[in-house]
């Protein structure tokens, strides 16, 4: 994982979104219906790994993408998790 990544799930979100034929705007609308007021720009940052995703947002993302949280997190090596945790510590 490249330095500066703030989340692990951005790439998976992009893949699941595009596989489902959803635009970032459509995914934002689905998330809004589930209670998370989020913009297309925020999804661009999430998918690029430039914005952290908290646990509540992760649950809503899974619901909006019609997948499980496990689908979003599955298979990440310990080093990738450690790199993201380190970025969080560095950010304050």
pLDDT score at 87: 64
Q: Which residue has the higher pLDDT, 3 or 18?
A: 18
pLDDT in tens, 20-55: 999 999 999 999 999 999 999 999 999 999 999 999
End-to-end CA gap in the chain: 20
CB-based contacts of 19, cutoff 8 Å, min separation 6: none
pTM: 0.80
- Label residue 9 by pLDDT band (50, 70, 90): very high
Task: Report the range of poorest mean pLDDT among 2-11, 34-43, 65-74, 75-84.
Answer: 75-84
Average pLDDT score over the chain: 87
Does the CA dihedral 37-61-20-13 come out positive or negative?
positive
The domains of the chain, with CATH numbers, are 10-74 (1.10.260.40)
| Cα angle: 76, vertex 64, 69; to 5 degrees | 30
- Label residue 1 by pLDDT band (50, 70, 90): very low
CB-based contacts of 20, cutoff 8 Å, min separation 6: 65, 66
């Amino acid at each position: 994982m490249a330095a500066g990544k703030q989340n692990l799930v951005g790439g998976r979100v992009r893949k699941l979104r595009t596989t489902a034929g959803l635009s970032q705007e459509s995914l934002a609308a689905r998330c809004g219906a589930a209670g998370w007021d989020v913009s297309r720009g925020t999804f661009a940052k999430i998918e690029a790994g430039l914005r952290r995703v908290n646990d509540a947002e992760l649950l809503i993302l899974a619901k909006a993408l019609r997948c499980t949280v496990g689908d979003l997190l599955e298979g990440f090596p310990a080093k990738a998790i450690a790199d993201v945790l380190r970025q969080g510590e560095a950010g304050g």
